[in-house]
Amino acid sequence: MSDRYIDFANSDLGRRVVGAVGLPQPARLERWQAGRLRPVEGTLLLGGGPLAVKVAEFGQRLTGEVVSFADDALGLPTWVAGLGSKLKAVVFDASHLGDIDQLKQLREFFQPLLRSLDRSAKLVILGRAPEQLDDVLARVAQRALEGFARSLAKELRSGGTLQLLYVAKNAEDQLEGALRFFLSPKSAFISGQVLRLEACASQVQDWIRPLAGRRALVTGAARGIGAAIAETLARDGAEVVLLDVPQAADDLKALAERLGGRALDLDICASDASARLLEGLPDGIDIVVHNAGITRDKTLANMTPEYWDSVLAVNLKAPAVLTQALIDGGALRDDGRIVVMASISGIAGNRGQSNYAASKAGLIGLAQAWAPLLAERGISINAIAPGFIETRMTAAIPFTLREAGRRMSSLGQGGLPQDVAEAVAWLAQPGSGAVSGQVLRVCGQAVMGA
Amino acid sequence: MSDRYIDFANSDLGRRVVGAVGLPQPARLERWQAGRLRPVEGTLLLGGGPLAVKVAEFGQRLTGEVVSFADDALGLPTWVAGLGSKLKAVVFDASHLGDIDQLKQLREFFQPLLRSLDRSAKLVILGRAPEQLDDVLARVAQRALEGFARSLAKELRSGGTLQLLYVAKNAEDQLEGALRFFLSPKSAFISGQVLRLEACASQVQDWIRPLAGRRALVTGAARGIGAAIAETLARDGAEVVLLDVPQAADDLKALAERLGGRALDLDICASDASARLLEGLPDGIDIVVHNAGITRDKTLANMTPEYWDSVLAVNLKAPAVLTQALIDGGALRDDGRIVVMASISGIAGNRGQSNYAASKAGLIGLAQAWAPLLAERGISINAIAPGFIETRMTAAIPFTLREAGRRMSSLGQGGLPQDVAEAVAWLAQPGSGAVSGQVLRVCGQAVMGA
């Protein structure tokens, strides 16, 4: 399960060998450690349009060192050089760029910074969703940001990441929650992504234990990514209800005990699964994470009916049926959060995974279908699409494919279960209602896409 | 410019070598030859839901050999085996699949066919756009099609392609035009794509010379992809107006002469470009193809202001300004067709191309911004996103990158300028108004995406 190449590439000898022969140079990514308080440990630079001023208002809650660049006689290059410290995080508000000529501000702002970025630097560009604008040229400029952001994300080194957040006009009070995630090591394995923040009732939130007082259900929780999700939700204060198949009951119980939660051994495909689940949640539920999933890979030419049916049943039908039951049965509370686990295979398709990709694409459909129906109750539902994550499942992949899966991404390595778990935990926060019906890739900006 | 590996892999010796050591096996793709009459030369199989019956109504115009499978006692495997001929084209209507269990019909229908497909077989799955459905489970099932279709497209061999077309309820009369393209060798280098057909006023169309009586402007027409577009539009009956920079005037004039069209040497970035263009089109224009584009690759850290400005000016600002001028000046006729040339770099971003990717993403924005504004006049505007195309530009790429660009796709090879040109010519048809504001990748289903 460990990626020995990263260890080698970051050793004294390895650095020289790797550099000399032009091999990939994956960095050791900084990750969130329990007990840490501030999202950014280092200098946060703000620049660009009016949203940067908004960010400055709460910037001191993100880190002790916030600096804002306002155009001055020195010019940015001299100014940055004069800062004397590397930049740990950068937010550039591009929302005011209203025509094509103004796009040059992107080059002017970012170019002088690139050599002053700290390791695992976190960059965010803010914009306005093109489809929410009237002016043609403004739409063009804002859409252009996407090509720029995804390219620059591919050029960052030393574990740097960059995302583009389209912020709706009245969603500016939703920025803090999003930036606390995307500027912190919690989003270590997310890069090159585009997300939309919509207006929503602002939720008072405890930033240290954001899930305190919330009850969370995680399926497939006995091991791997599911277990990491359970741990992370518990770390953030949630009371966890862990579900897995009866065969995994021992692992499940041990984990539930350790996290002070409850275990529910249940086959989610059983005909009485909905009834038993509702029975097991007499006080309702705030957070539902449909994580359980299986693979049964074969090209379609060789796929048995059992392979097709079992993957569709576990990965797609069970989440669809249980979601409906939790809603119909009144168990899902207002301001609830649902997260389904898709996959980049569900976005791009994958050879030998027509069953799996269909199920994962269907889950994206489930999030997109329910999101507008649940918005009125303040409930959000989103899909996370992991790329290559280091688990027992991916450890079983043949060497060459495994190496390709790891290296064919901007970060040049696989992610950890914790990376997926952090994304779930963020979407599960009361303050994350600004995001719904969307897909968030946790993939190190893998090359594979559609 | 030629891909010698394909020649080798398809030689007697090469086939044995390539097979023995597991190298990629790109097929020689069948392409449309001038003078050909029928989209499909071979057997077309129809199956699935009610849209298959619609297709059967005009199926005889696509090929002499249409067969429809209606469930019978034999079962599909026996029935297909009994056909006695390979399948050149397959249309499966999945629009009626309304829940997750019904998705198994995909496996049941396609599996028995896969060993009976002819070379360069053309497969199309029909569905309903999820966002146009009310029922949650129907939305999920229709969205799942995307994961299935993209996966199966990756499994096809011998140059086979597969697309998913989401057909709006009242857009069924728009199917013939789309299938004439996607079931014919005109779409040789397009696979794994998802497109939406919307209702629009049905246009009477001459299928042999679909662009007869239409005047088309092509920018960057002197050579490469632009020249191929000009030739193809002329082949289909359009009167062509070819535009390029003054330095290319000789090539441009020669091509215009050969195609019986007009040459317009003009720098599209000049301040008087709009005025001169309108002057050059006194009788208006039906088809506008913004093909002119340049690359000036550098990582952002090393990008000069000139590199940024010139790429944005040529690739994005000029098309935006000229489009506005053609509309404001009244030159663009009702039922007009605009095509802009994006790129998969504009979708996924690319290292060293932050300027180029921004410009190409902006062009996608241009199509998305104008589409709803022009719909009332019957005008469509779409973006084509080529992948690796064999041109003088890509011939200059270093060997390893060039090989990666060619092979990292389902079809295992680069496309030809003709492949892009055929897509433009299809979108330029009077009968293609069902598609607007969309992006069509012509990329052999390249791995790279977002």
Question: A324: closest CA among A369, A360, A364, A293?
Answer: A369
Nearest CA in chain B to A113: B301
Among A5, A166, A307, A356, which one carries the catalytic annotation? Answer: A356
Question: A99: closest CA among B222, B362, B59?
Answer: B362
Q: Are A193 and A440 in contact (CB under 8 A)?
A: yes
Nearest CA in chain A to B346: A147
Where do the H-state alpha helices sit in A132-268? Answer: 136-155, 175-182, 224-235, 249-259
Q: Are B145 and B169 in contact (CB under 8 A)?
A: no
In the residue annotation, A166 being an active-site residue is answered as: no
CA distance B349 to B101: 37
Interface contact A365-B299, CB threshold 8 A: no
Confidence band, pLDDT 50/70/90 cuts, at residue A73: low
Residues of A whose CB is below 8 A from B348: 150, 447, 449
Question: A319: closest CA among A335, A294, A341?
Answer: A341
Which residue, chain included where needed, has tokens 């009702």? B334
Q: Are B208 and B34 in contact (CB under 8 A)?
A: no
Interface contact B192-A364, CB threshold 8 A: no
Domains and CATH numbers, chain A: 1-25 (no CATH), 42-197 (3.40.50.720), 215-442 (3.40.50.720)
Return the HEC string of A87-118: EEEEEEECCCCCCCHHHHHHHHHHHHHHHHEE
- The rounded average pLDDT for each run of 10 residues, N- to C-terminus, in chain B (450 residues) is 81 82 86 93 95 94 87 75 89 97 97 95 98 98 98 97 97 95 98 96 84 97 97 98 97 98 97 98 98 97 98 98 98 98 98 98 98 97 97 86 90 97 97 97 97
CA distance A209 to A230: 15
Q: 3-class DSSP state for residue A216? A: strand
Nearest CA in chain A to B314: A100
Nearest CA in chain A to B132: A369
CA distance B332 to B287: 8
pLDDT at A112 over 80: yes
Q: pLDDT by residue (tens digit) across A290-307?
A: 999 999 999 999 999 999
Helix axes B175-182, B417-427, angle to 10 degrees: 170
Alpha carbon dihedral B277, B283, B287, B290, in 10-degree steps, equals 0
Q: What is the pLDDT of residue A69?
A: 80
Pick A226 or B399 by higher pLDDT. A226
Q: What is the pLDDT of residue B402?
A: 87
Other beta carbons within 10 angstroms of residue A377's beta carbon come to: 13
Q: Which residue from A305, A354, A449 is facing B450, i.e. has the nearest CB?
A: A449
Q: How are beta strands B239-244 and B87-93 bridged, if at all?
A: unpaired
Q: What is the pLDDT of residue B129?
A: 98
Q: What is the pLDDT of residue B45?
A: 95
Q: pLDDT by residue (tens digit) across B314-367?
A: 999 999 999 999 999 999 999 999 999 999 999 999 999 999 999 999 999 999
Question: A342: closest CA among A225, A176, A227?
Answer: A225
Interface contact B299-A352, CB threshold 8 A: no
Global pTM reads 0.97
Residues of B whose CB is below 8 A from A296: none
Interface contact A362-B137, CB threshold 8 A: no
Residues of B whose CB is below 8 A from A155: 299-301, 351-352, 354
Q: What is the pLDDT of residue B71?
A: 65
Q: What is the pLDDT of residue A11?
A: 86
pLDDT at A202 over 80: no
Interface contact A140-B366, CB threshold 8 A: yes
Residues of A whose CB is below 8 A from B143: 361-362, 364-366, 368-369
Q: Which residues contact B280 (CB under 8 A, 6 or more apart)?
A: B241, B262, B264, B266
| Across A309-314, average pLDDT | 98
Token pair for A350: 């994958």
Residues of B whose CB is below 8 A from A144: 316, 358-359, 361-362, 365
Q: pLDDT by residue (tens digit) across A46-59?
A: 999 999 999 999 99
Rounded to a whole number, what is the distance in Å from the CA of B45 to chain A's nearest CA? 18
Amino acid residing at A208 = I
CA distance B300 to B298: 6
Kindly list the distances between the CA atom of residue A169 and the CA atoms of A166, A175, A190, B192, B381, in Å, as whole numbers in the listed order.
Answer: 10, 11, 25, 36, 28
Interface contact A349-B151, CB threshold 8 A: yes
Nearest CA in chain B to A302: B111
Interface-testing mutation among A105, A109, A146, A445, with chain B (most B C-beta atoms within 10 A): A146
Q: What is the pLDDT of residue A72?
A: 64
Interface contact A359-B144, CB threshold 8 A: yes
Q: What is the pLDDT of residue B127?
A: 98
Interface contact B358-A106, CB threshold 8 A: yes
Residues of A whose CB is below 8 A from B349: 146-154, 192
Cross-strand bridge partners of residue A440: A384
Interface contact A350-B154, CB threshold 8 A: yes
Q: Which residue from B351, B408, B447 is facing A155, i.e. has the nearest CB?
A: B351
Q: pLDDT by residue (tens digit) across A5-30?
A: 888 888 888 888 877 877 778 999 99
Nearest CA in chain B to A304: B107
Confidence band, pLDDT 50/70/90 cuts, at residue A133: very high
Please state, for a pLDDT cut of 70, what percent of chain A lies above it.
Answer: 99
Please state, for a pLDDT cut of 70, what percent of chain B lies above it.
Answer: 98
Q: Are A419 and A385 in contact (CB under 8 A)?
A: no
Interface-testing mutation among A300, A317, A338, A410, with chain B (most B C-beta atoms within 10 A): A300
Q: Which residue from A317, A351, A365 is facing B143, i.e. has the nearest CB?
A: A365
Q: What is the pLDDT of residue A1?
A: 55
Residues of B whose CB is below 8 A from A359: 144, 147
> Phi, psi at residue B3, to the nearest 5°?
-100, 95
CA distance A432 to B11: 58
Amino acid residing at A162 = L
